[in-house]
Amino acid sequence: MGIDRRTDPEVGGIVHLEHFNFEVPDHDLATVFFMGGLGLTRDPYKRTDHLNMGVNIGLQQFHLPRRGNAPPPFDGEVGLIIPDLDAIKTRLERIAWAGHFDGTPYAYEGLGDTALVTSPFGVRLRLHSPGVLPFTGPLGLAYIDIPAPPGTAGGIAAFYRELLAAPAEVTAIQGEAAAVVTFGPHQSLNFRERQLDDYDLFSHHVCLYVTGFNAVRREMEKRNLTGGSGDRDDAFFFTAIADPGSNEVLLGLNHETRSLHHPDFMRPLVNRWPLESEPFSDQAEIQADRTRTDG
C-alpha cells in the first residue's frame, strides 16, 4: 500500500533536504541564469567567495562550486516551486535574446502551470506554480529526480526505510518504476529506474538533516560507505546507497549528512520574492528595451 501524504504526513528520520550541489565552470553565467533569470538570490553570508556560490530558494539552496571543470552531466531533474512563472519566462526570454545562453544547452518549454528549463549547465529544472504540488511556502526545492539502474527501486527504498527511518515507497512515475523517499515536509528524492550507460553522478551531492545522527553515522561506517567528515562532529558524507541486506552498492550518490545541531540547520535565508519589490526594476525594464532597440 502506498504512502498517502495527505492523510499520513510522516517525515521520519530525514527532516530536511537543504541543498543540491553541482559544479559549474562560470559564476558569472550562474548569476545571469539563477539570479537574473529565475529571480533567486545569492546567499550574502556564506559561499560568497570566488570558489563557491550559494543560491537561496526559499528554505533550500543550490551550492555551485567552481573548480575549472566542464559541467558534469546529470540525467535527472530538479523540481522547484516558483511563485510567478510568467515573470520567469519574460526574464529568461530577455536574457536568451541578448545572447547570454548561446552555445549552452539552455532550453525553455512552457507546460501550463509548469515549465521545463534546461539550465546553461545542462541541469534540468521543472518549475511548478504554487499549489500544483503540496509544499510549505511559495518558493523552494520540492524534489530531485535521480536516474537509477533497472531493478534497484525496491532496494533503494529499503535502504532509506531501514537505515535512515525515512518513509519510502516503490511506485511508478510516468511509466518508470521509482523509489520515492521522503526527505522533509513535502520534499522527496525520486529514484527513477532508467536504462543508461553511466550512472556516475560526478560532483553532485545532496545535503540532508537527520535525526539519530550518531546511529546513522555508525551504521554507514560499519558498512564502509562513509567518505570523510573532516574534523566536524555534526556532519559526515556517505557515498552510496546499498542493499540493506547484502550491502551491495545499488547507486553511488554523495549524501552530506548533518545533525540537527549543525549551525546551518534552518538558518534564515534571504530571498528577493516577490520580484515586484526588487530594487531598480524600472531601470532593468528600460535597459531591456534599450538593448532590444539598439539590436
pLDDT tens-digit readout, 97-117: 999 999 999 999 998 899 999
Q: Confirm whether 203 is domain-assigned.
A: yes
Give 37's DSSP letter. Answer: I
Q: Confirm whether 5 is domain-assigned.
A: no
* Residue whose C-alpha cell is 516558483: 82
> Residue 125: which pLDDT band, with cuts at 50, 70 and 90?
very high
CB 162 within 8 A of CB 168: no
Q: Confirm whether 9 is domain-assigned.
A: no
Domain harbouring 248, CATH code:
3.10.180.10
Mean pLDDT of 218-244: 89
Domain tally for the chain? 1
> Per residue in 18-77, pLDDT tens?
999 999 999 999 999 999 999 999 999 998 888 999 999 999 999 999 988 888 889 999
Region for 95 from its dihedrals, namely left if φ exceeds 0, alpha if ψ lies in -120 to 50, beta otherwise: alpha
- CA distances (Å), 251 to each of 11, 145, 146, 248, in order? 23, 14, 10, 9
Average pLDDT of the chain is 90
Cell numbers of 96, please?
536568451
Mean pLDDT of 193-209: 92
How many other C-beta atoms lie within 10 A of the C-beta of residue 99? 9
- pLDDT for position 275: 73
* Residue whose C-alpha cell is 515536509: 185
Q: What is the Cα–Cα distance from 145 to 206, expressed in whole angstroms?
A: 12
Q: Confirm whether 96 is domain-assigned.
A: yes
Q: Which amino acid is at 13?
A: G
> Per residue in 147-165, pLDDT tens?
999 999 999 999 999 999 9
Q: Confirm whether 169 is domain-assigned.
A: yes
Q: Confirm whether 3 is domain-assigned.
A: no
Q: Confirm whether 142 is domain-assigned.
A: yes
Domain extent for 170: 14-294
Helix (H, G, I), strand (E, B) or coil at 288: helix
Q: Confirm whether 4 is domain-assigned.
A: no
> Per residue in 247-280, pLDDT tens?
999 999 999 999 999 999 999 999 988 876 554 4
> Residue 295: which pLDDT band, with cuts at 50, 70 and 90?
very low
